Structure 1
Amino acid sequence: MDFFTEYGEGNRYKIEEVIGKGSYGVVCSALDTHTGDKVAIKKINDIFEHVSDATRILREIKLLRLLRHPDIVEIKHILLPPSRREFKDIYVVFELMESDLHQVIKANDDLTPEHYQFFLYQLLRGLKYIHTANVFHRDLKPKNILANADCKLKICDFGLARVAFSDTPTAIFWTDYIATRWYRAPELCGSFFSKYTPAIDIWSIGCIFAELLTGKPLFPGKNVVHQLDIITDLLGTPSPETISRIRNEKARRYLNSMRRKKPIPFTQKFPNADPLAMRLLERMLAFDPKDRPSAEEALADPYFKNIANVDREPSAQPITKLEFEFERRRITKEDIRELIYREILEYHPKMLREFLEGTESTGFMYPSAVDHFKKQFAYLEEHYAKGSTAAPPERQHNSLPRPCVVYSDNRPQSTASVTEDLSRCLIRDNNLKSQDSASVGASRIPQGAAARPGKAVGSMLRYGNCSTSAAEQQYEQRRVVRNPAIAPNSSVPLGSSYPRRNQTCKSETGDVERIDSSQTGPPKPYVANKLPATVDGRSGHW
């Protein structure tokens, strides 16, 4: 599989099977060989193709770093990209969950009232933590809730989430796509209110709970108008007071023109459900958002009296504006790239410390570079011991240092041509050496340089014409004199081949490597495990 391409850190993980695919990329299950843990690795392709997609990815990885809770999926690691300024894919390592709630509902027709109770308790407990951090998820649905066979649930996919600040211009802030239609609160269907509240997530949780009870979606609308129709079929036409508070004139006119409907009793819609569960569901599915309970109020409902524990229902510290300053201004693709790289460094503490102190190590070598040098060394060991003079494999990684070689005739560069030209230049230089040993500005190559393929000597070598023109010599003299780091009377000769770092050399993009997937086998279909039918609800352990 071409999964890790040039990411050297990928050697840490043994890919097992593909467990998901989408427009973003692919998710594989894998074994972390360092810890022995099973993990899920999400590869997100071409993240900077659209700024909006890159912003969504940045938002999600930032929120999942800040929201650490047992009922929210955890990012365990993000692989370090091979180049800070040129990467385009990222690999996010999550804890591995076996399935999602959508598959659980489809595959299990024998769930008990204890299952329903514990599922809803976990969702509301996670939502309380999210909302106290001033975050709205906005896209809660069964597919965005991961599940294990031990009945543990975790909320995921925060790509559409938003942090709500008191001074946010909500009329603009909330106008983009929000939530899958079937789980979308009625105030989002018609832009009823100018400022939305956490009640939009409470509605979604109510729809998910109803789907658990019946095994099918509660409001499967075909479009926005149909969605409002089937919502009012169950809940009845909203009261005149509720309609009067709607600021959207078209929505207000539509609801006023709708024929009067009476609400259907929930006991009739869900005849076999626990009466306490029905009362809580009715509160969560109130048409008017102000009538819905908060997550904290819902956790205090009598329905949870045998499993609720305030000590296991923590609140979060509100997220600061500084963390999401990028949401409040127009940003470029390069801004997003830098912000995502900064988030990735959170999982590489030593490099983050150097980044924040402004002392990034110039000698640092990305893992992909280390892997490639190992391959080159193995090649040299195998071939040069037999007397071969073939050049080692070409550099393929952005993170490797680029040879500081400029061809005067713009010929394509390769290790072989560099080696050949080094040899020719060495011969000519030796011939000229006896004629003008004190020539100023001439590039001198140490003996034996040609025997090391790909070794760059001096600050800059020009090929195509090995001699140096008088103009170039003068330029070299002026450049050295103007450089405050080298005094005019320095003991280092002006024309010396003393190596200097050339700050203008940029990383070049090479072909990506392919990893051998012969050991991983073909992808297997992912089958959700059936959940256990018996539960000790009182202890909270499954």
Structure 2
Amino acid sequence: MQPDQRKKSSVDVDFFTEYGEGSRYRIEEVIGKGSYGVVCSAYDTHTGERVAIKKINDIFEHVSDATRILREIKLLRLLRHPDIVEIKHILLPPSRREFKDIYVVFELMESDLHQVIKANDDLTPEHYQFFLYQLLRGLKYIHTANVFHRDLKPKNILANADCKLKICDFGLARVAFSDTPTAIFWTDYVATRWYRAPELCGSFFSKYTPAIDIWSIGCIFAELLTGKPLFPGKNVVHQLDLMTDLLGTPSAEAIARVRNEKARRYLSSMRRKRPILFSQKFPNANPLALRLLEKMLAFEPKDRPTAEEALADPYFKGLAKVEREPSAQPVTKMEFEFERRRITKEDVRELIYREILEYHPKMLKEYLEGSEPTGFMYPSAVDHFKKQFAYLEEHYGNGATVAPPERQHASLPSGCCKTWESCRFSIALQQLWSCSGSRGS
């Protein structure tokens, strides 16, 4: 064999070795299903870890949905932090020009905070403190990157039985740039209503601040304390009623700052309500916890603490350490240039493909050098996975978990542990701190 041939053969072997992704992951069982597709647990034979593989179907059917997926995978690549869920890998699609599904490999988490709250009525003050600390620590990192999450709720907080929480679902998140027209921020649906800040209920063309996420964290914390959503509004008006029932009628000055005329008129005509004492609403809670909660649920955004200020609150004395609460580098305009223009389906496909290549260094190098064959159909691991996912989806139902054919495995817990009494905070804290040491800004 000539040297050039040997060289070419070696490159081919390297490529096909890298692309042997289908054999890398052993699909185990369905752990979730939604409008986006299906999530399966899997075993990573390279690392020995169990992971979650999310199949996202028909992502280019609507440009808005594809843009949301692009935004999420891009942000999760840029925001690496122990309190934010991690994308470990994204499978390479069979064709750069024609793919329509993607397979995203996440770290596997056992449950979410919604399930934890629903299944556990014996959470302790230590749980509450540790949970809130992690949420604020993750939020500090997100906000210092100039990112607003905009859809924080218990279902978007993943959880493990060791009390570790991780923020997920950045599809509605936005990067704040000082020269961005404020109206851009209001062009789509923002935040699930129950966790939506007052300024999102009443001032639709006002530029908002990171305080919207602080309000959502306050609502989540209150739900932890009581086991029930704090403001389960049936509509926007009902939502404002529930807020003012607890917090009292806003001051005339606060109402005057509401930009939406209908909301301003409604609040002005509302009967005068006195605020309810938080100690009365949450009778068994730590007074320091309630003092912080009251600050986070201030009606006016300017009166809420930042995540960094909240972490310095006396409630976290003995737990918080500023050196273990890293800040992020601000996300650059270049990364989110697509948000500032109208983009086509083909544009989004190319941008998503470019993100996928971040997990395939050799392919990325070829792409950047312009030497990647654009029309080549790869021997795709996706084809291998399609059959297994199709089988699992067909047999998934009634909450049952189903293994693919000819697979034997010990099932992973897909829900929350029945009791969290076994949670060892010293171990959880050690894991948290060791992560932060290797994943600083």
Q: TM-score range by the shorter chain?
A: 0.7 to 0.9
SS of residue matched to 2:380: helix
- The higher relative CO (CA closer than 8 Å, separation ≥ 6) is in 2
Identity %: 84
Q: Partner of 1:199 in structure 2?
A: 211
- Asked if 1:25 corresponds to 2:34, the answer is no
Q: Partner of 1:255 in structure 2?
A: 267
Q: Partner of 2:401 in structure 1?
A: none
Cα pair 2:92 2:380 within 8 Å, conserved: no
Higher helix share: 2
Aligned length: 397
Q: Which amino acid letter does the alignment assign opposite residue 528 of structure 1?
A: C
Q: Which amino acid letter does the alignment assign opposite residue 199 of structure 2?
A: E
- Counterpart CA distance in 1 for 2:113 and 2:317 is 24
1:178-327 correspondence to structure 2 within 5 Å: 178-191=190-203, 194-327=206-339
TM-score by length of 2: 0.85
Query: Deviation digits for residues 324-351 of structure 1, max 9, x if unmatched?
Result: 0111111110110000000000000011
Q: Which amino acid letter does the alignment assign opposite residue 272 of structure 1?
A: N
Q: Partner of 1:343 in structure 2?
A: 355
- 2:83 corresponds to which of 62, 71, 77: 71
- 1:49 corresponds to which of 39, 61, 71: 61
Quote how far apart the aligned CAs of 1:246 are. 1.4
- Counterpart CA distance in 2 for 1:180 and 1:159 is 13
- Counterpart CA distance in 1 for 2:81 and 2:415 is 27
- Counterpart CA distance in 2 for 1:363 and 1:173 is 37
1:50-199 correspondence to structure 2 within 5 Å: 50-191=62-203, 194-199=206-211
Q: CA 1:32–1:533 in structure 2 vs 1: closer, same or farther (change >3 Å)?
A: closer
Quote how far apart the aligned CAs of 1:11 are. 2.5
- Asked if 1:528 corresponds to 2:401, the answer is no
Unaligned runs of 5+ in 2: 1-18, 392-403, 432-441
Q: CA 1:347–1:272 in structure 2 vs 1: closer, same or farther (change >3 Å)?
A: same
Q: Partner of 2:405 in structure 1?
A: 518
TM-score by length of 1: 0.70
- Counterpart CA distance in 2 for 1:264 and 1:109 is 24
| Stretch of structure 1 that moved more, 38-47 or 355-364 | 355-364
- Counterpart CA distance in 2 for 1:539 and 1:83 is 42
Q: Partner of 2:4 in structure 1?
A: none
Q: CA 1:524–1:68 in structure 2 vs 1: closer, same or farther (change >3 Å)?
A: closer
1:298-447 correspondence to structure 2 within 5 Å: 298-360=310-372, 366-368=378-380
Q: CA 1:297–1:513 in structure 2 vs 1: closer, same or farther (change >3 Å)?
A: closer
- Counterpart CA distance in 2 for 1:326 and 1:172 is 13
Cα pair 1:187 1:193 within 8 Å, conserved: no
Quote how far apart the aligned CAs of 1:248 are. 1.5
SS of residue matched to 1:367: coil
| Stretch of structure 1 that moved more, 24-33 or 353-362 | 353-362
Q: Partner of 1:384 in structure 2?
A: none
Q: CA 1:537–1:207 in structure 2 vs 1: closer, same or farther (change >3 Å)?
A: farther
- Counterpart CA distance in 1 for 2:205 and 2:289 is 29
When the two chains are superposed, the root-mean-square deviation of aligned CA atoms in Å is 2.4
SS of residue matched to 2:267: helix
Q: Which amino acid letter does the alignment assign opposite residue 110 of structure 1?
A: D
Structure with higher Rg: it is 1
Query: Deviation digits for residues 196-242 of structure 1, max 9, x if unmatched?
Result: 00000000000000000001101011111000001000000000111
- Counterpart CA distance in 1 for 2:72 and 2:121 is 33
Q: CA 1:304–1:537 in structure 2 vs 1: closer, same or farther (change >3 Å)?
A: farther
Q: Partner of 1:540 in structure 2?
A: 429
Query: Deviation digits for residues 253-290 of structure 1, max 9, x if unmatched?
Result: 11100000000000000011000000000000000010
